[in-house]
Amino acid sequence: MSQTIKLKKGFNINLAGKAKKKIAECDQPETFALKPTDFPGIIRPKLMVSEGDTVKAGTPLLFCKTMEDVKYCAPVSGEVVEIKRGEKRKLLEIRILADKDIQYKEFKKFGASGLTKIDRDEVVGLLLKGGVWPNIIQRPYGIVANPSDTPKAIFISAFDTHPLAPDIDFTLRGEEKFFQAGVDVLAKLTDGKIHVGLRGDGDVSGVFSNVQNAELHKISGKHPAGNVGVHIHHIDPIGKGDLIWTVNPHGVAQIGKLFLEGKYDASKVIAVTGSEVKNPQYYKTYTGACINKFIEGNVNDGDVRYISGNVLTGEKIEADGYLGFYHNQLTVIPEGHVSDFFGWIRPTFNKLSYHRAFGLLSFLNGKNKEYVLNTNTNGEPRGFVQTGVFEDITPMDILPTYLFKAILAEDYDEMENLGIYEVIEEDVALCEFVDVSKHELQKILREGLDLIKNA
């Protein structure tokens, strides 16, 4: 192990409905979708297919006008049945009616020993053609990386501390050789190191414990200990002009499969979670799956919200919506349309809050208590209240309150000085959860990142 990092700041949101470590049998969804809106920074996506076209898994569906070499590919084979657009003809979804037996576009294969002999240009070329490049995210800005750049390091977080997050060790079990191959491929893209962050408060995952060609770090603490941005901050911080790339573990394994098997394999194991799910468990499917098969007969009656991803950073979708490209989790929780009169004043054991003044008796429940929370924000946006709580829960040497104010004031120098290059939305999502002022802090941060990037 290269480093052992113990974080003192953070806050765990323990929700009811964690997935049991069981892969359930389920019919595959009939349709899958690629959503350009999943990719921050994509500008004027250009379609490469039309309705009625037949595609294989790995067939390019669209590209971004500013990076034409990066192709966004079909996760399954089948027929393009709908190209959905929104206001001003904004491209929202490309829907594919999937074949029962997935057909794959074929790419060049490399044996494990062959990975040591290929050069960077050949690696980049196959990553681009094979549909896996969008797994590589650039810091700062949290956008799909530019293949013409060279990062100073590449980071992989091998655990997730978001509420009800899937167990990555479980979802990648049996994929060890593909993960290792992915790491070997990524090592060709940087002159620096590959850093893998491991959960520090427990046994090291069997999937990641024997990884070669990378530095392993153990990180322990409360959420957001699993965020790759936290790992970067403590291991190799980003300064002005620096570039670091990040890849999630499933993306690493997908890269490995492309090079070892010569195909774009978008299969994954997802977790269906949340207090309103009757049987929270795991399912095998493909990127962009329609969620209807996973919730059919498996959700409690009532008004619920379906979230692609987790409750802090996920996207609200409909009951016939599609999982996002980067999401390995579906969360179902109650909607909170009805106000709770004096809800935060009335003493109760069933409300979770970081603030003792509001949580009251919840602090007597102990750290293992699981809560059923709805979507109610329990208040409306108001002026910034400087409580210092953001700094108390952010395990990074930045000042979130002043950073948000600098963004709102469009003060570029202050944004840079206060650490905007080090964070993306997931790094401030916990601040949004505990914010007594009820601001959309993730949205504010994205506006700031866009200001800096386009300056």
* Predicted local confidence at residue 348, as pLDDT: 54
Domain end marker among 261, 296, 311: 261
Strands 78-85 and 54-55: what pairing? Answer: antiparallel
Query: Would you give the end-to-end CA distance of the chain in angstroms?
Result: 40
Q: Is residue 430 part of a domain?
A: yes
Confidence of residue 259 (pLDDT cuts 50, 70, 90): very high
* Predicted local confidence at residue 333, as pLDDT: 97
Write out pLDDT tens, residues 307-323: 999 999 999 999 999 99
**Which residues, 6+ apart, have CB-to-CB distance to 411 below 8 Å?**
none
Q: What is the mean pLDDT of residues 17-46?
A: 94
Output the average pLDDT for the chain. Answer: 92
Bigger pLDDT: 26 vs 355 = 26
User: SS3 string of 348-390?
Assistant: CCCCCCCCHHHHHHHHHCCCCCCECCCCCCCCCCCCCCCCCHH
What does each C-alpha distance from 320 to 123, 126, 146, 236 come to in angstroms? 37, 34, 33, 42
- pLDDT surpasses 90 at 16: yes
Domain end marker among 218, 242, 261: 261
Q: Is residue 73 part of a domain?
A: yes
- Residues 253 and 394 both lie in one domain: no
Question: What is the Cα–Cα distance from 140 to 452, expressed in whole angstroms?
Answer: 10
Q: What is the mean pLDDT of residues 365-391?
A: 79
Q: Is residue 382 part of a domain?
A: no
Q: Please count the structural domains in the chain.
A: 2
* Predicted local confidence at residue 54, as pLDDT: 98
* Predicted local confidence at residue 223, as pLDDT: 97
- pLDDT surpasses 60 at 395: yes
Q: In 231-310, at which residue ranges do the beta strands (DSSP E only) sit?
A: 244-246, 267-273, 281-286, 304-308
Q: Is residue 340 part of a domain?
A: no
Query: Nearest-CA neighbor of 138 among 45, 42, 202?
Result: 42
* Predicted local confidence at residue 345, as pLDDT: 54
* Predicted local confidence at residue 381, as pLDDT: 74
Q: What is the mean pLDDT of residues 142-166?
A: 97
* Predicted local confidence at residue 415, as pLDDT: 97
* Predicted local confidence at residue 33, as pLDDT: 98
- pLDDT surpasses 60 at 276: yes
Q: With residue 198 as reference, give the H or E element that holds it.
A: strand 193-199
Confidence of residue 425 (pLDDT cuts 50, 70, 90): very high
Q: Is residue 232 part of a domain?
A: yes
* Predicted local confidence at residue 325, as pLDDT: 98
* Predicted local confidence at residue 76, as pLDDT: 98
**pTM across the whole model:** 0.94
The whole-angstrom distance between residue 224's C-alpha and the CA centroid of its chain comes to: 13
- Number of neighbouring beta carbons within 10 Å of residue 400: 23
- pLDDT surpasses 60 at 346: no
Given a contact cutoff of 8 angstroms between Cβ atoms, the answer to whether 369 and 14 are in contact is yes
- pLDDT surpasses 50 at 436: yes
User: Angle at the Cα of 337 (from 331 to 338), degrees rounded to 5?
Assistant: 125
Q: With residue 45 as reference, give the H or E element that holds it.
A: strand 45-47
Q: Is 447 left (phi over 0), alpha (psi -120 to 50) or beta?
A: alpha
Q: In 378-427, at which residue ranges do the beta strands (DSSP E only) sit?
A: none
Confidence of residue 360 (pLDDT cuts 50, 70, 90): very low
Question: What is the Cα–Cα distance from 7 to 221, expressed in whole angstroms?
Answer: 5
Provide φ and ψ at 406, rounded to 5°.
Answer: -65, -35
- Residues 255 and 397 both lie in one domain: no
Confidence of residue 354 (pLDDT cuts 50, 70, 90): low
Q: Is residue 328 part of a domain?
A: no
- Residues 253 and 393 both lie in one domain: no
Residue with tokens 């930045």: 398
* Predicted local confidence at residue 437, as pLDDT: 86
- pLDDT surpasses 90 at 100: yes
Q: Which domain holds residue 153?
A: 3-261
- pLDDT surpasses 60 at 341: no
* Predicted local confidence at residue 361, as pLDDT: 47
Identify the top-confidence range among 85-94, 202-211, 371-380. 85-94
Q: What is the mean pLDDT of residues 51-77?
A: 96
Question: What is the Cα–Cα distance from 93 to 34, expressed in whole angstroms?
Answer: 6
Confidence of residue 388 (pLDDT cuts 50, 70, 90): confident
Q: Is residue 203 part of a domain?
A: yes
Bigger pLDDT: 200 vs 360 = 200
Domain end marker among 261, 295, 311: 261
Burial 67-82 (b: 16+ CB within 10 A, else e): beebbbbbbbbbbbee
Q: Is residue 366 part of a domain?
A: no
Percent of the chain surpassing pLDDT 90: 80
